[in-house]
Amino acid sequence: MNTYAIIPSGGVGKRINSSLPKQYVKINGKELIAYTLEIFQKCNLVDRIIIATQPKYISLLEEIKTKYKISKLIKIVEGGNERQDSVFNALNSIDAESNDIIAIHDAARPLLSINILETALLSAKKFDNIVVATKATDTLVSGNELVESYLDRSSTYHIQTPQISRYKILMAAMNLAYENNFIGTDESILLHRASNKIKIVDGSSLNFKITTQSDLDLFKIISDIETI
pLDDT per residue as tens digits for the range 78-100 = 999 999 999 999 999 999 999 99
Distance CA 62, CA 180 (A): 36
Q: Look at residue 1 and give its three-state secondary structure.
A: coil
- 55 phi-psi bin (left φ>0, alpha ψ -120 to 50, beta other): alpha
Domain boundaries in the chain? 3-226
Chain segment 207-228, per-residue pLDDT in tens: 999 999 999 999 999 988 766 4
Burial of 79 (0-12, 13-18, 19+ CB in 10 A): buried
pLDDT band (50, 70, 90) for residue 10: confident
pLDDT of 64: 98
Superfamily grouping for domain 3-226: Spore Coat Polysaccharide Biosynthesis Protein SpsA; Chain A (3.90.550.10)
Chain segment 110-155, per-residue pLDDT in tens: 999 999 999 999 999 999 999 999 999 999 999 999 999 999 999 9
pLDDT of 225: 78
